[in-house]
């Protein structure tokens, strides 16, 4: 009986947790319940279970020691935003940025789906800490899952196991997370390597009760419920209610040649080089950049009024294609061993490969679907969303204080998007309200525009549009409100754009390691040493002395002037798109943001 097993194996004195596990076991009817302790022995058990099931294969111990390769079902390869729901009590609280369903109706739907959904399988009880164990910025979650792949991945991505139960104690609060691949094994049915329910997926959040239920998918953010579901959608609601910030941001430690360090957070939508920046190797002499986190920042106020941030994760779940020695040498080193790869290609010598990994592709490989592949094949060897899952401690650029329970003080926040024109290389907000406005209009261009024209913009405010667990208008209001806290010392806000192109479509800025030059200017602005020029859109570096350091940089003075110019006509042309985007949030949009937009237009027209 599942109840007996769970009671026997639980090493916790938390009666509420044990009762909840028994309740879900009774509903889902697994063959057995395994309470995860996070031990090395348990890791070996999970790996062997996955090998026996055909879910993963071991890679060459010579080429990629301690590493595994998994291939998912082709129907289960990415987050499913159209099947992701915020079931707030009131539809208006979910906002136009989320899919909403009535919570009671959704509970009835899910109850029917989960009834017996784990038959023939093991239910793993996965206790985990988001953030350093015992930190005042951290929270505990418990995920119940019938996927050994998920249990193994959660061991990498979170502080999972008995230590999390010890922090929880006998009466601590936890976020309950229920997950099933939705593929019960009935009447002795044979299992498949990647069980899922491709036609019937639900990723559901109940913000008021802080619960997460996921059905049908075994992949990524759909199934690793500590990641986007907890760390952003639920945590954003917690942050709003408790007066802190849960953000889709990297965290960097930047150290100047003088040995002074500052911490910078950064929000970037997908395909904007976020992970590459998080692990950047500076080209600027004597500057050092280290990693605190690559994806999520939880920031709470310290007694000194500053925001202190932790990376709530303990691993990287990175996109493999495009990751190579030129774009991200630290990541290449990091995944050289002890990594779980998913939907990458397998080379004939037992290694992995993906597009962008090396200059020359292998002559032959087995692609992510398990088919023969050569460079002449019409389809890619690795899925575009192929992933690596690896412990953060393996990253060569991790800062020593990345696990400091106190967090690190954030002095600046970077915002960014992929824009071929109009937006300069970097500009600074004049104050927090202006910076909030800049974040509210963050965008990338979805169409290739003619020279001098503005294409269609895809807005992703603060890179949070798919991940905010409540109405985006209320989210903007929360950003404005936190700055009004007594004694608050808010970070400076900067907007960067590495993606400007010339008339021939070539990038004006070399990017990658050269982005350290922009970080250095931001650093000097934080410490009061950097110079800036007041413009209608904000503060820009001067071209030349006192601005972006260009010694050793293969970019002409004319190109630098173009990168740092204010394209007045371009800005004016995109204002209607800004206005239409903001008006989408209706009565909940803070009037301060429309006032900022009006003031921007007035400054641009005044020249």
The pLDDT of residue 544 is 86
- Joined tokens for residue 161: 């196991």
The pLDDT of residue 4 is 39
Question: Going by C-beta distance under 8 Å and a sequence separation of 6 or more, which residues neighbour residue 581?
Answer: 441, 443, 457, 459
The pLDDT of residue 384 is 95
- Joined tokens for residue 147: 């996927």
Domains of the chain from N-terminus onward? 2-53+82-243 (3.40.449.10), 247-314+402-606 (3.90.228.20), 315-394 (2.170.8.10)
Lowest mean pLDDT among 5-19, 222-236, 434-448: 5-19
- Joined tokens for residue 329: 């040498």
| Residue 552 falls in which region: left (phi positive, over 0), alpha (psi -120 to 50) or beta | left
The whole-number average pLDDT for the span 86-98 is 98
The pLDDT of residue 338 is 98
The pLDDT of residue 453 is 60
Lowest mean pLDDT among 232-241, 274-283, 450-459, 499-508: 450-459
The pLDDT of residue 9 is 67
User: What digits encode the pLDDT tens for the residues 543-582?
Assistant: 988 899 999 999 999 999 999 999 999 999 999 999 999 9
| Rounded Cα distance, 130 and 26, in Å | 27
| Rounded Cα distance, 69 and 245, in Å | 36
Has residue 6 got a pLDDT over 50? no
Q: Which helix (H) or strand (E) covers residue 577, if one does?
A: helix 568-583
Rounded to a whole number, what is the distance in angstroms from the first to the last CA of the chain? 76
Other C-beta atoms lying within 10 Å of the C-beta of residue 322: 17
3-state helix, strand, coil in the chain (%, to 5): 30, 20, 45
Cβ 236 vs Cβ 463: under 8 Å: no
Has residue 585 got a pLDDT over 90? yes
Strands 340-342 and 68-70: parallel
- Joined tokens for residue 299: 């920031």
Question: Strand, coil or helix: what is 342?
Answer: strand
538 forms bridges with which residues in the sheet? 535
The pLDDT of residue 3 is 40
The pLDDT of residue 8 is 42
Catalytic residue among 87, 196, 272, 468: 272
User: What digits encode the pLDDT tens for the residues 328-363?
Assistant: 999 999 999 999 999 999 999 999 999 999 989 999
Has residue 477 got a pLDDT over 60? yes
The whole-number average pLDDT for the span 500-508 is 93
| Rounded Cα distance, 274 and 512, in Å | 10
pTM of the complete model: 0.96
Q: Which residue blocks in 279-431 are alpha helix, DSSP H?
A: 329-334
User: What digits encode the pLDDT tens for the residues 243-273?
Assistant: 999 999 999 999 999 999 999 999 999 878 8
| Residue 359 falls in which region: left (phi positive, over 0), alpha (psi -120 to 50) or beta | alpha
- Joined tokens for residue 127: 């206790």
Only one residue has tokens 């500590």, namely 226
Please, which pLDDT band fits residue 438 given cuts at 50, 70 and 90?
very high
Has residue 523 got a pLDDT over 80? yes
Burial (CB < 10 A; 0-12, 13-18, 19+), residue 581, is middle
User: What digits encode the pLDDT tens for the residues 176-216?
Assistant: 999 999 999 998 889 999 999 988 999 999 999 999 999 99
Cβ 505 vs Cβ 240: under 8 Å: no
| Rounded Cα distance, 9 and 536, in Å | 64
The pLDDT of residue 7 is 40
The pLDDT of residue 446 is 79
Has residue 92 got a pLDDT over 60? yes
Give helix 472-482 / helix 432-440 axis angle, nearest 10°. Answer: 160
The pLDDT of residue 199 is 87
Mean residue pLDDT of the chain comes to 95
Residue 68, CB half-sphere, CA atoms under 13 Å: how many?
22
- Chain centre to alpha carbon of residue 148: 23
The pLDDT of residue 448 is 55
Known catalytic residue at 272? yes
Query: Which string of b and e fits 120-141 if b means at least 16 CB within 10 Å?
Result: bbbbbbbbbbbbbeebebbbbb
* Better-predicted residue by pLDDT, 8 or 515: 515
């Amino acid at each position: 009986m599942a109840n007996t097993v769970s009671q026997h194996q639980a090493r916790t004195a938390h009666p509420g947790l044990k009762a909840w596990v028994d309740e879900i076991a009774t509903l889902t009817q697994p063959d057995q319940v395994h309470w995860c302790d996070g031990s090395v022995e348990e890791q070996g058990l999970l790996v062997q279970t996955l090998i026996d099931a055909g879910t993963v294969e071991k890679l060459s111990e010579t080429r990629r020691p301690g590493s595994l390769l998994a291939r998912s079902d082709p129907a289960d390869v990415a987050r499913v935003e159209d099947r992701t729901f915020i079931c707030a009590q009131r539809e208006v609280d979910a906002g136009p940025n989320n899919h909403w369903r009535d919570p009671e109706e959704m509970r009835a739907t899910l109850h029917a789906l989960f009834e017996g959904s784990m038959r023939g399988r093991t239910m793993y009880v996965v206790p985990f800490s988001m953030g350093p164990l015992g930190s005042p910025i951290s929270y505990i979650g418990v995920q119940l899952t019938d996927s050994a792949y998920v249990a193994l991945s959660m061991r990498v991505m979170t502080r999972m196991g008995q230590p999390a139960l010890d922090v929880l104690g006998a009466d601590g609060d936890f976020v309950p997370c229920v997950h099933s691949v939705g593929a019960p094994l009935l009447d002795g049915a044979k299992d498949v390597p990647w069980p899922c329910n491709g036609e019937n997926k639900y990723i559901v959040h109940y913000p008021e009760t802080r619960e997460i239920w996921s059905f049908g998918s075994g992949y990524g953010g759909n199934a690793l419920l500590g990641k986007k579901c907890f760390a952003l959608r639920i945590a954003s609601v917690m942050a709003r209610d408790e007066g802190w910030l849960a953000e889709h941001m990297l965290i960097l430690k930047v150290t100047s040649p003088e040995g002074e360090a500052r911490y910078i957070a950064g929000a970037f939508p997908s395909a904007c080089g976020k992970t590459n920046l998080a692990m950047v190797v500076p080209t600027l002499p004597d500057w050092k950049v280290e990693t605190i986190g690559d994806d999520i920042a939880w920031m709470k106020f310290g007694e000194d009024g500053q925001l202190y941030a932790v990376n709530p994760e303990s691993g990287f779940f990175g996109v493999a294609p495009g990751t190579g020695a030129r774009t991200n040498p630290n990541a290449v080193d990091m995944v050289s061993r002890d990594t779980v790869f998913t939907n990458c290609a397998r080379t004939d010598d037992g290694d992995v490969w993906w597009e962008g990994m090396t200059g020359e592709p292998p002559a032959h490989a087995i692609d992510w679907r398990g088919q023969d592949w050569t460079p002449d094949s019409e389809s890619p060897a690795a899925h575009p969303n192929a992933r690596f899952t690896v412990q953060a401690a393996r990253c060569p650029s991790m800062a020593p204080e990345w696990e400091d329970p106190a967090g690190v003080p954030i002095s600046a926040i970077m915002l960014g998007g992929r824009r071929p024109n109009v937006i300069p290389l970097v500009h600074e907000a004049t104050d927090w309200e202006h910076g909030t406005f800049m974040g509210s209009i963050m965008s990338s261009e979805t169409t290739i525009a003619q020279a001098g024209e503005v294409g269609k913009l895809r807005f992703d405010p603060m890179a949070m549009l798919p991940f905010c667990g409540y109405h985006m208008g209320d989210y903007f209001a929360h950003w404005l409100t936190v700055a009004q806290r007594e004694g608050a010392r808010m970070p400076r806000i900067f907007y960067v754009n590495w993606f400007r192109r010339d008339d021939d479509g070539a990038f004006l800025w070399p990017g990658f390691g050269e982005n350290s030059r922009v970080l250095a200017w931001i650093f000097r602005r934080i410490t009061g040493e950097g110079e800036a020029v007041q413009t209608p859109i904000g503060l820009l570096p001067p071209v030349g002395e006192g601005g972006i350091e260009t010694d050793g940089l293969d970019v002409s003075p004319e190109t630098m002037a173009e990168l740092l110019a204010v394209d007045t006509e371009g800005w004016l042309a995109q204002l209607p798109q800004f206005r239409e985007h903001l008006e989408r949030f209706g009565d909940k949009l803070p009037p301060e943001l429309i006032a900022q937009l009006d003031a921007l237009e007035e400054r641009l027209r005044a020249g």
